[in-house]
Amino acid sequence: MNERGREVLLLLVWGDLLINYVETMVVPAIPTIQNDFSISSTLASWITSAFIIVGAIVSPIFGKLADTYGRKKMYLVSLGGYLLAVGIAGFSPTIYTLIGARAIQGIGYGIFPVGLAIITDVLPPDEVATAQGLLSGSVGIGTALGLIIGSYIDQDFGWQYAFHTAFILSLVFFLVILVGLKDTGIRTKQSIDYVGTSLLTLGMALILVYITEGPSMGWLSSENLTFLVLGTLLIFAFIPVEMRVKEPLVDMKLMKIRNIMVANLVGIVSSIALMIMYFGIIYYAQLPPPFGLGLDILSAGLTLAPATVVMFIVGPIVGKLTGDIGPKPLLISGSIISILGFSLLIVNRESAEALVEDVIVAGTGMISIIIPLINMIAVTVPERDRGIGLGMNTLLRNLGASIGPVLSTSIMSSYKDPYVLMLGNNILDVSFFPGNQAFNIMFQVAILVILANLGISLFTQNYKSVKQG
């Protein structure tokens, strides 16, 4: 790898670490934020989902804008929007202000597809897979930092200070990118599909509202089914619109290519499972016995941290293996390992140590799925469409990730058991918490999702990277 390539990769890894750190530090604090604002767990799940939905939509848009106006410029625009929203989030007086700020933070997700496009611009083809593995693996270390440092700040200073410190870190990184990152010079004029963007955004939001309101309004109530029907109709309307638009948000022509179709479908379903894992573990770890382990925020975060470090280590290895043996064996083996990990979470979660063991297995499987997807898109999409191709894949993976938290908290709200506080023969208080069945169902759903992932992976057309001498 040449000197310029190393410098660019280092900067992009720093950016990915930062975003993943900030976004992960929020997760352990969600039960606390829920209590601070006296809201339901399903409404609290929107703290994560609002960021992911907007991130999903802006990813392909920023991919296109980067193709048109330059990688560095759009990287800075994405980072600047993120910086502003992080500053607002720390001073949120209401849950709706916080959710709104989190939605604006989704603009920051644009740095991921733009960064991946930059890597493919500056590195030779035989080094791209390993670099992509390092970038994707940085999710692990960024997540670990968020879980450890973020959990410490959340617990000892409050979740607001987690956002305050994140603002300072984001500002420093913005200035470094402004001075240190050079534009690659690649330009391709493209237009923005505003109609498709609106249809997909509103459709997904309505479907998630249906999932959110299921436990309270009823899954089959006419009012709640209206959200589901309207959302589904908008998603179906999105498809013919995309087939007619000159520059679509999701290029249906690219979706006809087998490996791109596989990468995008696998991206959706595997992301659902990943977020179920995160939310299931965080809530289970903090719930009081006998419903959970009764851990504090920091200890709960530490149950996930070792797995994310393992993901960081495994990431570059998987990236290299993707080039050496192709993506198909890794997608299949990653699915099998993930199923094993979620199965362990059903039968082996009686202690924090058991959770650590289970999540290491599941996390290893998940990173073995995610990294081949990125490489499949990068090597299959024509160079002129690389930014939009990567952005499209990020969009679909994030849409799956936005479903995970809402689905998890809806299951927890649907399966609650009473906790009776007694003093002698007198009942002092009756509380309701997600019971053992709730978490079993949650992880069973994740297994079903990964089984679908395995079935889709079998259609992958395998390839090996050609080494350049």
Whether residue 95 has pLDDT greater than 90? yes
Mean pLDDT for the stretch of residues 304-320:
79
Is there a single domain that holds both residue 69 and residue 161? yes
Q: Rounded to whole angstroms, how far apart are CA atoms 274 and 418?
A: 29
State whether 240 and 163 are in the same domain.
no
C-alpha distances (whole Å) from 259 to each of 162, 264, 296, 456 are 40, 8, 44, 10
Is residue 467 one of the residues assigned to a domain? no
Q: Is residue 388 within 8 Å of residue 63, measured between CB atoms?
A: yes
Query: Do 77 and 65 share a structural domain?
Result: yes
54 vs 201: CA distance, rounded Å: 8
Residues 331, 206, single domain; the answer is no
Is residue 231 located within the same domain as residue 309? no
Question: Residue 193 in contact with residue 245, Cβ under 8 Å?
Answer: yes
Q: Do 214 and 73 fall into the same domain?
A: no
Q: How confident is the model at residue 467 (pLDDT cuts 50, 70, 90)?
A: very low
Task: Determine the Cα–Cα distance for residues 445 and 312; give it in Å rounded to an integer.
Answer: 26
pLDDT at 56: 75
Decide which of 246, 261, 288 is a domain's last residue: 246
Q: What is the pLDDT at residue 94? A: 94
Report the Cα 259 to chain-centroid distance in Å.
21
Torsion, CA 77, CA 80, CA 86, CA 87, rounded to 10: -150
| pLDDT of amino acid 256 | 82
Q: Is residue 31 part of a domain?
A: yes
- With a cut of 60, say whether residue 164 has pLDDT above it: yes
Cis amide leading into 290 (omega within 30): yes
Place of tokens 């740095």: 111
Q: How confident is the model at residue 1 (pLDDT cuts 50, 70, 90)?
A: low
Mean pLDDT lowest for which of 2-16, 204-218, 423-437? 423-437
Question: Which has the minimum average pLDDT: 84-93, 165-174, 295-304?
Answer: 295-304
- The predicted pLDDT at position 60 comes to 74
Q: Distances in Å between the alpha carbon of 136 and those of 264, 397, 405, 421, 443?
A: 16, 13, 21, 46, 24
pLDDT-based confidence at residue 433 (cuts at 50, 70, 90) = confident
Which positions ≥6 away from 339 have C-beta within 8 Å?
365, 447, 450, 451, 454
Closest of 273, 264, 263, 260 to residue 451, by C-alpha: 273
**Per-residue pLDDT tens digits for 119-163:** 877 777 767 767 766 776 566 567 667 777 878 888 888 889 989
Specify if 161 maps to a domain. Answer: yes
Integer-rounded Cα radius of gyration of the chain? 21
**Where does a domain end: 212, 227, 246?**
246
> Residue 380: its pLDDT value, please?
83
Residue 463 domain-assigned (yes or no): no
Residue 464 included in any domain: no
Are 358 and 345 a contacting pair, CB within 8 Å? yes
Q: Which of 182, 212, 246 is the last residue of a domain?
A: 246
Query: Tens digits of per-residue pLDDT, 396-415?
Result: 887 788 788 888 888 988 88
Does the reported pTM lie above 0.85? no
Q: Let me know if residue 94 belongs to a domain.
A: yes
Mean pLDDT of the chain: 84
- With the CA atoms of 365, 294, 291 and 428 taken in that order, what torsion angle do they form, in degrees rounded to the nearest 10? -160
Q: Same domain for 171 and 197?
A: no
Q: How many domains does the chain have?
A: 2
On the question of pLDDT at 468 being above 50, the answer is: no
Q: Look at residue 255 and tell me if it is in a domain.
A: yes
Of 206 and 2, the structure prediction assigns the larger pLDDT to: 206
What pLDDT, on the 0 to 100 scale, is given for residue 469?
A: 34
Nearest to 175 by CA among 6, 14, 21, 22: 14
Share above pLDDT 90 across residues of the chain, in percent, rounded to a whole number: 32
Is the residue at 465 inside a domain?
no
Query: Are 19 and 111 within 8 A, CB to CB?
Result: yes
State whether 186 and 197 are in the same domain: no
| Residue 327 belongs to domain with CATH number | 1.20.1250.20
Closest CA to 236 of 273, 207, 279, 277: 207
Are 305 and 449 in a shared domain? Answer: yes
- pLDDT at res. 466: 47
Same domain, 288 and 422: yes
Confidence grade of residue 339 (pLDDT, cut at 50, 70, 90): very high
> So what's the pLDDT on residue 120?
76
* Pair 177, 76 in one domain: yes
DSSP 338-354: HHHHHHHHHH--SSHHH
**pLDDT at residue 71 in the model:** 85
455 closest CA partner among 375, 354, 351, 335: 335
Q: Is 425 exposed, middle or buried (0-12, 13-18, 19+ CB in 10 A)?
A: exposed
What average pLDDT does the segment 238-259 reach?
A: 83
> Which structural domain range is residue 228 located in?
193-246
Q: Which helix (H) or strand (E) holds 430?
A: strand 426-434
Average pLDDT score over residue span 172-194? 79
pLDDT tens profile 210-235: 887 777 788 888 988 999 999 999 99
Q: Which residue has the higher pLDDT, 150 or 273?
A: 273
Q: Has residue 72 got a pLDDT over 60?
A: yes
Question: Is the pLDDT confidence value at 431 over 60?
Answer: yes
125 and 233 together in one domain: no
